[in-house]
Amino acid sequence: MGIPLLGEKFPEIEVQTTHGKMLLPDNFKGKWFVFFSHPADFTPVCTTEFVAFQKRYDEFQKLNCELIGLSIDQVFSHIKWVEWIKEKLNIEIKFPIVADDTGEVSKKLGLIHPGKGTNTVRAVFIVDPNGTIRAILYYPQELGRNMDEILRMVKGLQVSDENGVAMPANWPNNELIKDKVIIPPASDEKTAKSRLEMAEAGEIECFDWWFCYKGL
């Protein structure tokens, strides 16, 4: 079927999770959610990732964003692993984990890359309240994810949607414009001229007509 693309709807899938059966993306309708896969339960890198996600769970929820994990392990393995994390590391995993022991969900979402083994790679799908895929990340098994970057992406996409702007590199700590945001480039001569006039009036800031920015 191929890997889902940015701007497409997240596929409708019924899944078995540690929180019971769920229908995606309907169960998160009206919310953002981060759907992420991990290679296997009871593995060191994946354990550090789940702890890192849980440590930031409240921050995701403040953004009206839920988390849901997946691997091709059975639900019994997920439950036991979550219990181990709570018992040994004193961290309670509060978000659901999909048990894709048949591999059907992984195939539909392009989560198994034969060149990297038979387990799921470390994929991330950021999905908006309308069920639209807004960002996709793929990591190999040997590289753990940066959860602060995923959190930053959700924040940035929300700010972009709310204000009709783009986010610069490393936002909100950009090397050129710091925490300010980029105004979409002018697409005609009239708009280009007005941008420079707005900059002269102090309404916005510009390096040139095609690179203007502002604070929020």
CB 65 within 8 A of CB 33: yes
Fold that domain 164-216 belongs to in CATH: Antioxidant, Horf6; Chain A, domain 2 (3.30.1020)
> Which pLDDT belongs to residue 114?
73
> Which pLDDT belongs to residue 20?
96
Q: Tokens for 19?
A: 């929180």
> Which pLDDT belongs to residue 1?
53
> Which pLDDT belongs to residue 48?
97
Q: Tell me which H or E stretch contains 34.
A: strand 32-37
* pLDDT band at 55; cut points 50, 70, 90: very high
Mean pLDDT, residues 111-139: 88
State the catalytic residues.
46
Superfamily, domain 13-145: Glutaredoxin (3.40.30.10)
pTM of the model: 0.93
Query: Per residue in 11-34, pLDDT tens?
Result: 999 999 999 999 999 999 999 999
Q: Is the pLDDT of residue 112 over 90?
A: no
Q: Is the pLDDT of residue 61 over 90?
A: yes
Give the strands of the sheet with 20-24, arranged side by side: 20-24, 13-17, 97-99, 65-71, 32-37, 122-127, 133-139
Residue % of the chain over a pLDDT of 90 = 81
> Which pLDDT belongs to residue 117?
66
Which residues are CB-neighbours of 101 under 8 A, at least 6 positions away? 72, 73, 74, 75
Q: Tokens for 194?
A: 């007005």
> Which pLDDT belongs to residue 113?
78
Query: Where exactly are the structural domains of the chain?
Result: 13-145, 164-216
Q: How far is CA 122 from CA 35, 109, 110, 119, in A?
A: 10, 12, 11, 10
Q: Tokens for 151?
A: 């959190």
Q: How far from the centroid of its chain's Cα atoms is residue 180's Cα?
A: 22
DSSP string across 86-146: HHHH-----S-EEE-TT-HHHHHHT-B-GGG-SSB-EEEEEE-TTSBEEEEEEE-TTS---
